Structures are given as C-alpha cells and as structure tokens.
Chains A and B, each alone.
Chain A
Amino acid sequence: MTKANFDLVKEIELLRLVTVGSVDDGKSTLIGRLLIDTKGAFEDQLMAVRKQKGATTVSSAADIDLAMLTDGLSAEREQGITIDVAYRYFATPKRKFIMADCPGHEQYTRNMVTGSSTANAAIILIDARHGVLAQTKRHTHILGLLGIPHLIVAVNKMDLVDYDQATFENIREEMSEYCAKQGIKDLICTPMSALTGDMVTIRGENMDWYEGDTLLETLESLSVLDDLDEKPFRMPVQLVNRPQTADLPDYRGFMGTIASGTVKVGDGITVVPSGLSSTVKEIVTFDGNLEEAFAPQSITLTLNDNIDISRGDMLVHTGEPTTGEKSLTANVCWIGDEPLERRKKYMIKHTTRQVKALVDDVVFKREIHTLEKEDADSLAMNEIGQIRFKLQQPLNCDSYADNRMTGSFIIIDSFTNNTVGAGMIV
C-alpha cells in the first residue's frame, strides 16, 4: 500500500457472505485457503494452530489444523464440533468480506438462519464425490427463503474425482433444476479444490474445461447492493432527538436507519400508522446536513411541521404506503427450544416496533427432507412453516420478497425473553 492507494481503498465496498456445508465438505479448508491467500489470518494466529508443533513457517492450508482456527470455543475443540456461527474478515484490493461461517449439522438450522439473515451472497459447499445431498437441498431451501441475492455452489474436492467435467456438470444440472423449482435465479456453480487452491484464488491447470471465474473473482464481482435505493422510502424511527439545550430549545429530530429508498430535502413524508404528513426540512448528520440520503445510511430528519412521531413509527414518502393490518402471514423458521403452538402468544419485534401476537393458524409445515407441505399444529426447533398471526396492534410492513428490512421480524418468548423465531412476511 502506498500513499496513492488511499483513494482507491476508500472506494472498497462491503460484501456480507455466508458459508454453509459440513466439515466433511472441506469447508474449513476452503475458509483457511481464503484467509491465507488474502492474508485474512495473521502469522501468529496460524502458527498457534499448526499441525506440527516444531514447524517454523506456515505457507499452505495443508500445514494447519483449520478447524482449530475456526472453532473458537473450548467446548467446540473438546467435542470436535462447531457449535456457533463464527465471523471471519478478509479483504482484497477490491472488497472487504464479512463471512459468517455456519455449522453444517442438521440440527443447527438456527445458526444457519442467524448467519444468513444479513448476507448478500452464500457459498454452498458440495463434496464432488458425494454430489447433492439432502442436507444441501435443505440449506439451499433456507437460503432461498431468506432471499439471499446470490448463491454460489462450490463443488469442492475436484482433485479426488480427477477433475472430471461430467461429475461437475451432473451436480450443476441437479442444483439448477432444484433452484429453478423454488424461483432462485442467480445461481453460480464453480468446480474447485480448496486443498490445492485450484479455482479458489488461482485458475490452476487442471480444469481448463471450465470457463467461469475463480471463486474469489466471483466474490469480487457480484453486485453488492440489491436495488435497495430504488425501492420505496422507508425509515423506521429509532428515537426522537430533543437536545433541549440553550442553543436548541425546540429541536426535534427523528433518528433512524433508512431501510430502503432515498429521501431528499423538501420531500413529502407520511408517518405510519398515524397518517400525519409533513415535508423534510433538513437531513442532519454530524458531518453536515445532506441534500439527499439513501439506504442503509443512519440519519436524523427534521420536518417542517410539528407532528406527533415516536419510536416505532415509520416515515414513508407520501403516496407510497405500507400495508398496516392486525393480522400477518409469514414464513417462519422456528429456533426456540419450546415448540410454536396454535393459540400461543408471543412478542413480535418488527423494525423498531414491538407488538403482541397470537398464533392464529399453522397454515402448513414444510417437510424438511422432501420440502412437501404438511398439515400441522406446531413447529418444533429447526422446523419451517407458514404461520398466520393475529396482532394486538397493526404492523406497517412490506412483503419480504419486496423488502428484506421491512418484511422481516423476530419472535420473542415474553416469558424467557429469548429470540425463538425468524419471520418473513408473505
């Protein structure tokens, strides 16, 4: 890095990434490969997990006990399993990556949902020798449900099938078919060997038949932002800023993160659910007022009229309303120890608003292996289904397909206070 590079570094964008698959698929090796090749792990951290204690250098993924690098908790190392999502960071001259590394065991769907909810892209690991497994399909289904914009299927261990093109093509075909059935469009399949590095960060010489990009090239070129700024303006109010100081006795600013869209000074604004309207006076930030702001900036708005607004309200452009009803149907991933049951009451936190909710109906449960719809009265931990809720207060929301920020909510058990469900509004 030189002085001239500072301006380039400033342009670097952020890509949130999730990796799913089991240790057997070579996930640790792939992550280790990416960390080592992009210098995302430091020498002293690598030396601490080298296989041969006497070794004085660590130059390749093969020298390292990679699970030791990724399994950060003593209980994980004791039992040789990954319990929880770990976050990894690496960067190239083009991008910074935040990678949520999710445990692959069947029962850890809850961790997968945690790690995937904010991701722009997912890497699904497949062992070329074993092909598409039931677990692969299950993971892909959940990633599709969570609306991850880009899915990358990494067909790993190609070195163990003699870099055979037909093996890869079969897997690609099966995955494409499966994804098409669910409406997942952006699917990229890449053959690779995490062990040798072929097609991960380098092209290698073994798979000349493959014309696509390496995994790292793909990660560097995927579009980072969906069309968040082209969607209707939504800003859930987090707080009302009333400094009440000598300089600012009557100041009232509405603080929040723009969930979608853009806002300009002078724009007509409507508050939901109250329906009161005004226009934008200023867009306030510590670095000076802005003429225009866009998602996902955190800003403060002042308005030209003194109207009643508090936390939990949402600001929208006048004429671009949300739905606002006292019932809600959503796809739900259940992550609580106690099952969700018909007639039970929970708290729902949607953007900055919390409301009481009653399970009115379990519309269906998704059989986790065949993905068929089944009749049910409850959802156990790690199960997925469609639920209809009755709400104590109306919620102003969009469908998850339209807007990941205003179409999502968490379900809280009001007795234990635990987060027990993830909801995606239909």
Chain B
Amino acid sequence: MSKHKLTQLKALEAESIHIIREVVAEFRNPVMLYSVGKDSSVLVHLARKAFYPAPLPFPLLHVDTGFKFKEMYEFRDNFCKEIGADLIVRRNEDAIDNGMNPKEFGVARCCGALKTQGLLDALEEGGYDAAFGGARRDEEKSRAKERVFSMRDEFGQWDPKNQRPELWNIYNGRIHDGESVRVFPISNWTEMDIWSYIREENIPIVPLYFAKERPMIERGDMLIPYYEENKDQYLEGEEPTMVMSRFRTLGCSPCTGAVRSDATNMDEIVIEAAASKRSERETRIIDHGSNSMEDKKKEGYF
C-alpha cells in the first residue's frame, strides 16, 4: 500500500494542470474562455497554479452578450485587475445594434447570434489555435461524450461521430492550418467537486452564488431575476417579489433561473450541492430543447 496518496480533488487538480501546460507547450496562440462563472473561476485558478510564479501566458477572453448580470461585470473587472490577467472582451456588435434579444427572436436565435457567432468571430479575429473552456462532462449528456482536446474544423464546428481517441494522459495537439482545438481541463470535475474546491481554496466567485433576498419573477417552476433595465424582457403581467434565493449557474440575466436557497456561505453551498436532487443546467432556459446542447456544440458553441 502506497504511503503517498492524493485526495480526489488534488488528483483532479494535477490532471487539469497537466492539460493546461500541454496546450501552452504545443499551441502557437492559446486563449482561455472566461465566462465569469464558478467554473471559469476554478479554471483561471488552476491556470495560475500551473504557471506560478510566472503570470498567465495567455489572455482571458470574455464573449459578452450585453445581457450578463451587472454583478458579473463588476466582479470580472475587479478580479482580472487583481490577478493581473490580460482580459479581452468581445461582443457581436452587429447583432446587438440590431436589437437582438431572447424575447423577440427566441432563445435559440439569440444564443446563436450573441454567444456562438460572437465566440466564433472573436476566435477568428484573435487567430487562436486553442481555446480553453470550463465545460464539464457531468453537466449534460452530449458533453459526457466530449474529449479533453476537442477538434474543430475551419468553421469552428464539432463532429461528434469522428473524435480522436484519447489515450493515457498523452494528448495529440497536431492540427492543420485553419483548424483549432477546444480544450476542457476540468472535464472530469463534477459540480460537487467545483464547489468543494472553491471552498477549500478560497477562490473568489460572483456574489450572486450566495443566497440573499432578491427581486424575482416567478414563472412556473422557475425563478427569473428581475432587473429594471430588462423589464421589456418579462411577460405581460409579471411582477417581481422578494425571494431568498441564489444562482447555481450564471448565464444571461433574462435566461438564467435562480433557486430558492438559504445558503449564504461556502459551507452551506457545499452542503446544499451534496443534497441537491436536480441538475444545475435545469436553471438554463436554453437547455430545454430535445438536442439543444449537441446542436449548439456542432455549430461551434463551446
């Protein structure tokens, strides 16, 4: 019996650092997608650990839709300044100027324009050959089939039927000109791992993850956060009420639901996550189609 043992979180951490370093070694121009959410917070933390004492050797890229929570923008700017990260923010300005929004154009079209197209444009503009993402295999059934190094063709698209076999911890980073790779260093982490790690490592996260009395629209089973500036996005007759609540995932404010919760600190969040019977993606409106994540990924979503 070995006397040297790694706890499962430390084993996951070591695996993720190995992956991040391989990408920096083998690719010309990597970038880390930064969505400001909890998984991004963990990803950036792992990247800082990987290259310590040097600074991050790649920029962070936030593909902004203009619909994120204002707490997310504040957190993003403070956090990136504090750790000295090089933050690039890109938006699909054409679509935003044309008034793209989920209520009028539908969630799928809005996501397609502001997130998928915004991401593809930003990656092309930057000439990045590798983009780190914080997707996890436990999130969703098509993501359960995703490789750690996920090949994308010149159109940024995923071919799930033709994925490269991935053996041991030896990653094949060879690509042709124009192709790129999306890399998911936290593929093997579960939601529970993310929360436990944030707690253990004191990783800063957006305050929306902690429970507080917040104005909410109650629509069916969903709690939709109310913001005065978004009031055109709510349905007729919908009025906010104050609800003790928090967010398990963070996306765009009109399309991300909250959950009722009294968890105001990390200990309570971990306890709540351990007892949870519903998946976190349930609070994302975009996931509610039959194949929606797989379809979006084929088009180039991350």
Min C-beta distance of B194 to chain A, whole Å: 12
A243 in contact with B174 (CB, 8 Å): no
Min C-beta distance of A79 to chain B, whole Å: 11
The residue that A223 contacts in the complex, of B1, B22, B143, with Cβ under 8 A, is B1
* A118 beta carbon closer than 8 Å to chain B: yes
Min C-beta distance of A337 to chain B, whole Å: 10
Looking at B59-67, B255-263, B273-281, the stretch in contact with chain A turns out to be B273-281
Min C-beta distance of B126 to chain A, whole Å: 22
A228 in contact with B2 (CB, 8 Å): yes
* B175 beta carbon closer than 8 Å to chain A: yes
* A91 beta carbon closer than 8 Å to chain B: yes
- List, in ascending order, chain B residues with CB within 8 A of A419's CB: 164-167, 172
- List, in ascending order, chain B residues with CB within 8 A of A227's CB: 2
A86 in contact with B145 (CB, 8 Å): yes
A257 in contact with B18 (CB, 8 Å): yes
A417 in contact with B271 (CB, 8 Å): no
A residues 278-301 touching B (CB-CB < 8 Å): 284-287, 294-298, 300
B2 in contact with A117 (CB, 8 Å): no
* B270 beta carbon closer than 8 Å to chain A: yes
A417 in contact with B137 (CB, 8 Å): no
Min C-beta distance of A290 to chain B, whole Å: 12
Q: Mark A60-74, 1 if CB is under 8 A from B, else 0.
A: 000000000101111
B53 in contact with A248 (CB, 8 Å): yes
A96 in contact with B52 (CB, 8 Å): no
* A169 beta carbon closer than 8 Å to chain B: no
The residue that B267 contacts in the complex, of A6, A405, A409, with Cβ under 8 A, is A6
A84 in contact with B21 (CB, 8 Å): no
- List, in ascending order, chain B residues with CB within 8 A of A85's CB: 145
- List, in ascending order, chain B residues with CB within 8 A of A42's CB: 276-279, 282
* A351 beta carbon closer than 8 Å to chain B: yes
> From B138, which residue of chain A is reached at the shortest CB distance?
A89
Looking at B70-78, B86-94, B184-192, the stretch in contact with chain A turns out to be B184-192
A405 in contact with B282 (CB, 8 Å): no
- Bound-state Cα–Cα, A69 to B279, Å: 14
- List, in ascending order, chain B residues with CB within 8 A of A224's CB: 5
A residues 200-255 touching B (CB-CB < 8 Å): 223-230, 238-239, 241-243, 245, 247-248, 251, 253, 255
* B28 beta carbon closer than 8 Å to chain A: no
> From A296, which residue of chain B is reached at the shortest CB distance?
B14
Point out which of A228, A255, A294, A414 has the most chain B C-beta atoms below 10 A from its C-beta: A255
Q: Mark B123-134, 1 if CB is under 8 A from A, else 0.
A: 000000000000
- List, in ascending order, chain A residues with CB within 8 A of B294's CB: 72-74
- Bound-state Cα–Cα, A412 to B278, Å: 42
The residue that B21 contacts in the complex, of A74, A239, A405, A409, with Cβ under 8 A, is A239
A239 in contact with B279 (CB, 8 Å): no
Q: With A43-B278, A117-B167, A286-B52 known to touch, is A84 a contact of B160 (CB < 8 Å)?
A: yes
Point out which of B17, B50, B54, B190 has the most chain A C-beta atoms below 10 A from its C-beta: B54
* A376 beta carbon closer than 8 Å to chain B: no
B51 in contact with A241 (CB, 8 Å): yes
- Bound-state Cα–Cα, A95 to B188, Å: 14
Point out which of A6, A75, A239 has the most chain B C-beta atoms below 10 A from its C-beta: A239
The residue that A13 contacts in the complex, of B5, B18, B169, B275, with Cβ under 8 A, is B5
* A352 beta carbon closer than 8 Å to chain B: yes
Min C-beta distance of A58 to chain B, whole Å: 11
* A44 beta carbon closer than 8 Å to chain B: yes
- Bound-state Cα–Cα, A32 to B196, Å: 25
Min C-beta distance of B91 to chain A, whole Å: 31
* A50 beta carbon closer than 8 Å to chain B: no
Looking at A108-116, A187-195, A319-327, A366-374, the stretch in contact with chain B turns out to be A108-116
Min C-beta distance of B60 to chain A, whole Å: 18
A298 in contact with B18 (CB, 8 Å): yes
B165 in contact with A113 (CB, 8 Å): yes
A245 in contact with B55 (CB, 8 Å): yes
- List, in ascending order, chain A residues with CB within 8 A of B279's CB: 42, 44-45
A3 in contact with B278 (CB, 8 Å): no
- List, in ascending order, chain B residues with CB within 8 A of A248's CB: 53-54
* A10 beta carbon closer than 8 Å to chain B: yes
B11 in contact with A73 (CB, 8 Å): no
* B68 beta carbon closer than 8 Å to chain A: no
B188 in contact with A98 (CB, 8 Å): yes
B169 in contact with A257 (CB, 8 Å): yes
A89 in contact with B137 (CB, 8 Å): yes
B137 in contact with A335 (CB, 8 Å): no
* A14 beta carbon closer than 8 Å to chain B: yes
- List, in ascending order, chain A residues with CB within 8 A of B14's CB: 257, 296-298
Min C-beta distance of B29 to chain A, whole Å: 16
- List, in ascending order, chain A residues with CB within 8 A of B161's CB: 73, 75, 83-84
- Bound-state Cα–Cα, A286 to B168, Å: 26
- Bound-state Cα–Cα, A72 to B293, Å: 10
19 A-B Cβ contacts within 8 A? Answer: A6-B199, A14-B8, A69-B141, A74-B291, A85-B145, A87-B145, A89-B188, A113-B165, A114-B167, A238-B22, A256-B21, A285-B52, A286-B49, A286-B52, A300-B52, A311-B25, A335-B165, A408-B170, A422-B165
Name the 10 nearest CB pairs between A and B, nearest first: A72-B141, A243-B54, A14-B8, A298-B17, A42-B279, A294-B4, A286-B49, A286-B52, A417-B174, A1-B274
Given contacts A89-B138, A245-B54, 4 further A-B contacts (CB under 8 A): A45-B279, A255-B50, A408-B167, A410-B168
